[in-house]
Structure 1
Amino acid sequence: MSVDCDVVIVGAGPVGLTSALLLQKMGHRVQVYECHAKHYALPRAVFLSHQAVRMFRALGVLERMKSTQALQDLHGRVSDIGTYVDANGHTLRTALAFAMHQPGVEEELENACRERDIPVYRSAEVRDIVDNGRYVEVNFIKPGNVEGTMVSLNTVTASFVVGCDGAKSTVRQSSKMGWFEYEAASSRWLVVDIIPTVSGAMSQWKDSYSPKQILDPKRPRSSVPSQLARRRWEFMVMPNESTEMVTTDEFVWKMVALFECGPDTGAIERRTVYSISGGWAESFAQGRVALAGDAAHLAPQFLGQGLNSGLRDAKSLAWRIDFALRHPAKNWRQLMADYSTEQLGTTKQFVTAAKAIEHILTVTDPEDAKKTRRTA
């Protein structure tokens, strides 16, 4: 049977768009479907691995990302060493980091897709997929041309489908790939992004040159100087504090004042509270359907592996799908099973490690904190 394209990518985040560019570079016809009409314009991921940077260079998008400051050359500006410190500022451990602005990265990836004739269909909500053995049907809806009109049901066929559609993945659920929750959410964090309103303010704020995890039992917190144009902080929310309380202007400015930042030099770009959880799909591939990124796994932010692991999925999966498309008579199903085994093994390691770090960071008893400092 003739199919509409070789691969359908569901989800136009960084993992989905990178997957599309990788497969198109290998010579395959790719289409991307995204339920949202526009990019989510606020920051999320802020760390990128050097492995991901090399991937973007090979795809020919790195220089444009750097020119728009979606990715920043940190040398001489912000250390690419993240630091774990205790409440007194004593260094416990260091870790590699690289700054990014996710909305800018997504914009440049989508621009590259469109320039290379990769269709990116927005406002297209995938409802279910059907793997028929020889091909896959993807059923999606689009809103009518006039507000209030009925949506239209559409079907596209492909040899393979890659679900990059986030933690609530329709692709995963439709394919009945189970989900394993490693641990129930055990801590809540207030995430704050501040934009400087005064020239030079960023360099005056405390800890402006090195990402830090501060193991302070009074208020565990993270400091992330992620961009020239913004600054990220994360503060643990205590059990007796409500989301409504910690997201007020008064509370946010009280927190960032710990880093000598205030409303006289900055403006709040984003504030949100989220609960830390971790888990993974029980399988990353089934037949002609595969998962990548948050659709396949969720990790706490403490190792900076959420987006980076998704990009590794994209690279690991792309060459396998390329082989399957070029050699359909070969045992490509074993390759897809190997993808699941390979990435699942890595996933379990970094999710469990990130949860272990969470337990270290979130100690609020002073005596326990002293023990933690000795073993960290």
Structure 2
Amino acid sequence: MTSLPQETDVVISGAGPVGLTLANLLGQSAIGVVVLEKNKRPFDIPRAITLDDEGCRTIQATGLHKKFLPSTIPGKGARYYGEDGSPFAEVGPGPIEFGFPRRTHFFQPKLDQILANGLKRFQQANVFYNCKLIDFSEIDNGVEIEVCTPGNKSHSLFCKYLIGTDGAKSDIRQKLNIKMIGETYPEDWVIVDTSNDPDHEPVSKFYCRRDRPYVSIPAPNKGRRYEYRIQPEEEAQKLLEFQNIRERLSSTRTINPEDIVRSTVYTFEAKIAEKWRVGKILLAGDAAHLTPPFAGQGLNSGLRDAHNLAWKLAIILKGEASEKLLDTYELERREPAKAMIELAMAMGDIVMPKKEQDIEFRNKLVEWLDRFPAARDYIVSMKFKPSPHYKKGAFVDLHHQQFSGSLVGQMLPQLAVKQLNSPEQQLDNFLGNDFALIIQDKHLIENATKVSKSFFYKTQIKTIFIGQPPFKSSDYVTNLVPIADSLLKKLRAHRDQIILIRPDRYVAASFSGENQKGALAKFKEILNTRGK
């Protein structure tokens, strides 16, 4: 059994999906990682239940998606029911843009187990349960940490960076005196996770009732989650008694005590930390932002934090970028996290309007939208969900010299591709977990090769040519043939440019062969590596 070291590169406090994902991503970059979890063992009850396409793509980046996906259920959309119990709107699964369905339902203990076991791939990355972070203090070159280990023994641990992924009640955030800004919903909700459910339809169902709104969400292994609002006159704990759960679900299913996997009372919060970083200590996931569940974005926002932060920590620790790059973490992630909180609150207003006039407005809106299917689908399909697009941060000329259709600042679509005479695969399988270049014009091959060799790394970064093969793939350039689909059109907007892809799959820059030196100089300036 591995013992807790005295020194490592990064300590992550909290072994939930966000912390474990961050640890796996850092492990792939040969960064030393210690994950501390105060609980004696991994959680064996479900908490988060839905990943979106971006979240699944982050799991893909850990290299563990093939172990994870067989245990999941691809979501087939959502259905909304009115006061009379009849559906007033339905949403299909939607197009696949980033390689995965827009909704994937999963069992969180399974994901936690896969991520924790994934760390065994790396000699320098480990998770330690029953180890609680007691105190910490930042010094010149890192953070000194005091850990309470099994048997109430004290252990001193030094790291270069400390990351708090320790949840909504984050000890690290509280010790840093960082306030959470936002609101707590006045009503609590009961959450009941069930097994042996007769409803196997992989559709999320929203019952927008005046008296008791509730939600029904598919889960793996013939399971389902039910969430319903507690009325002001009701006692929360009494609603967790079996006879009350049975009564509440009687219109939906017959339930036995052994069918209840978990039942709990949950308070929904919409809050964001006033700051996410103090020196060498950073917050991610629920420690940094709390999202109501109505849009299924809480964990997904945390996974975006992990992917954004991992590559920045990795190149800083390898000496390939300045610590100043960490300023772009909150700069990039804060507004999207806030936007997802606002999206969830907007969806909550549809499902559970609080005031009588809001209920009447919702009902009239539904009736009106029924006459305008395009407008109805726009709302219920959450097409107003912010696209994965950063408006500021580690990008070149994000607000200057960009053309309509530019992907700079946006997440790269994940095309279906294949090598000559090989099976179809996803693009990310070839990009790897480092920076990469994409070109679509064979005349740019020489320029791209020079860029890949003159990048700030000691080793050459990958170059991907997407197009019909002018040559065989080499050690320098991988030739991929695109499978014809609509996603290729987005990429074709850069057909005469070199595209620089960040490790988190965002487009950092695009430039012509003539402008490559200037673009690279600007990006190196962003990383603060000029002169290295």
The answer to whether 1:82 aligns with 2:90 is: no
Q: Distance in 1 between matches of 2:293 and 2:138?
A: 34
Kindly indicate whether the alpha-carbon contact (under 8 Å) linking 1:136 and 1:157 is maintained by their aligned counterparts in 2: yes
Residues 179 and 83 (structure 1 numbering): CA distance in 2 closer, same or farther, change over 3 Å?
farther
Kindly indicate whether the alpha-carbon contact (under 8 Å) linking 1:218 and 1:364 is maintained by their aligned counterparts in 2: no
Kindly indicate whether the alpha-carbon contact (under 8 Å) linking 1:183 and 1:277 is maintained by their aligned counterparts in 2: yes
Kindly indicate whether the alpha-carbon contact (under 8 Å) linking 1:186 and 1:277 is maintained by their aligned counterparts in 2: no
Alignment counterpart, residue 214 of structure 1, candidates 207, 212, 223: 207
Q: Distance in 1 between matches of 2:318 and 2:354?
A: 56
Kindly indicate whether the alpha-carbon contact (under 8 Å) linking 1:163 and 1:292 is maintained by their aligned counterparts in 2: yes
Q: CA deviation at 1:41?
A: 0.8
Residue 206 of structure 2 aligns with an amino acid whose one-letter code is Q
Kindly indicate whether the alpha-carbon contact (under 8 Å) linking 1:84 and 1:91 is maintained by their aligned counterparts in 2: yes
Residue 4 of structure 1 aligns with an amino acid whose one-letter code is E
Q: CA deviation at 1:292?
A: 0.8
Alignment counterpart, residue 349 of structure 1, candidates 336, 339, 347: 339
Alignment counterpart, residue 298 of structure 1, candidates 284, 290, 294: 290
Corresponding residue number in structure 1 for 2:305: 313
Q: CA deviation at 1:171?
A: 1.8
Corresponding residue number in structure 2 for 1:156: 157
The answer to whether 1:132 aligns with 2:139 is: yes
Corresponding residue number in structure 1 for 2:506: none
SS in 2 for 1:37: coil
Residues 97 and 373 (structure 1 numbering): CA distance in 2 closer, same or farther, change over 3 Å?
farther
SS in 1 for 2:10: strand
Q: CA deviation at 1:104?
A: 0.6
The answer to whether 1:278 aligns with 2:270 is: yes
Q: CA deviation at 1:93?
A: 6.1
SS in 2 for 1:257: coil
Alignment counterpart, residue 241 of structure 1, candidates 234, 238, 247: 234
The answer to whether 1:97 aligns with 2:103 is: yes
Kindly indicate whether the alpha-carbon contact (under 8 Å) linking 2:25 and 2:61 is maintained by their aligned counterparts in 1: no
Q: CA deviation at 1:316?
A: 0.4
Residue 66 of structure 1 aligns with an amino acid whose one-letter code is L
Kindly indicate whether the alpha-carbon contact (under 8 Å) linking 1:217 and 1:365 is maintained by their aligned counterparts in 2: no
Corresponding residue number in structure 2 for 1:62: 65
Residue 344 of structure 1 aligns with an amino acid whose one-letter code is R
Residue 362 of structure 2 aligns with an amino acid whose one-letter code is T
Kindly indicate whether the alpha-carbon contact (under 8 Å) linking 2:214 and 2:228 is maintained by their aligned counterparts in 1: yes
SS in 2 for 1:187: strand
Corresponding residue number in structure 2 for 1:231: 224
Q: Distance in 1 between matches of 2:116 and 2:171?
A: 22
Kindly indicate whether the alpha-carbon contact (under 8 Å) linking 1:139 and 1:153 is maintained by their aligned counterparts in 2: yes
Taking CA–CA contacts closer than 8 Å with sequence separation of 6 or more, which of the two structures ends up with the larger relative contact order?
1
Corresponding residue number in structure 2 for 1:194: 194
Q: Distance in 2 between matches of 1:57 and 1:247?
A: 37
Residues 121 and 263 (structure 1 numbering): CA distance in 2 closer, same or farther, change over 3 Å?
closer
Residue 127 of structure 1 aligns with an amino acid whose one-letter code is I
Residues 368 and 167 (structure 1 numbering): CA distance in 2 closer, same or farther, change over 3 Å?
closer
Q: Distance in 2 between matches of 1:89 and 1:155?
A: 60
Stretch deviating more after TM superposition (180-189 or 209-218): 180-189
Q: What percentage of residue pairs aligned between the two structures are identical?
A: 28
Which structure has the bigger radius of gyration? 2
Q: CA deviation at 1:172?
A: 1.6
Corresponding residue number in structure 2 for 1:324: 316
Q: Distance in 2 between matches of 1:169 and 1:367?
A: 37
- Cα root mean square deviation, aligned: 2.1
Q: CA deviation at 1:85?
A: 2.9
Stretch deviating more after TM superposition (87-96 or 223-232): 87-96
Residues 186 and 39 (structure 1 numbering): CA distance in 2 closer, same or farther, change over 3 Å?
same
Point out where structure 1 has 5 or more consecutive residues left out of the alignment.
Answer: 145-150, 197-201
Q: CA deviation at 1:52?
A: 1.8
SS in 1 for 2:353: coil
Residues 115 and 324 (structure 1 numbering): CA distance in 2 closer, same or farther, change over 3 Å?
closer
Point out where structure 2 has 5 or more consecutive residues left out of the alignment.
Answer: 1-5, 94-101, 367-532
Corresponding residue number in structure 2 for 1:340: 330
SS in 2 for 1:252: helix
Residues 292 and 367 (structure 1 numbering): CA distance in 2 closer, same or farther, change over 3 Å?
closer
SS in 2 for 1:276: strand
**Equivalenced residues, count:** 350
Q: CA deviation at 1:243?
A: 1.2
Kindly indicate whether the alpha-carbon contact (under 8 Å) linking 1:114 and 1:120 is maintained by their aligned counterparts in 2: no
Kindly indicate whether the alpha-carbon contact (under 8 Å) linking 2:193 and 2:262 is maintained by their aligned counterparts in 1: yes
| TM-score of the pair, normalised by structure 1 | 0.87
Kindly indicate whether the alpha-carbon contact (under 8 Å) linking 1:8 and 1:158 is maintained by their aligned counterparts in 2: yes
Q: Distance in 2 between matches of 1:364 and 1:123?
A: 42
Instruction: Please list the CA deviations of residues 99-155 of structure 1 after superposition, one character each: whole Å capped at 9, or x if unmatched.
Output: 0110110011101112433221111110122111311111111132xxxxxx22211
Kindly indicate whether the alpha-carbon contact (under 8 Å) linking 1:194 and 1:269 is maintained by their aligned counterparts in 2: yes
Q: CA deviation at 1:282?
A: 1.1
Instruction: Please list the CA deviations of residues 318-341 of structure 1 after superposition, one character each: whole Å capped at 9, or x if unmatched.
Output: 11111211227x5422x2122112
| TM-score of the pair, normalised by structure 2 | 0.62
Q: CA deviation at 1:82?
A: 2.4
SS in 2 for 1:225: strand
Q: Distance in 1 between matches of 2:121 and 2:173?
A: 30
Q: CA deviation at 1:245?
A: 2.1
Residue 139 of structure 2 aligns with an amino acid whose one-letter code is N
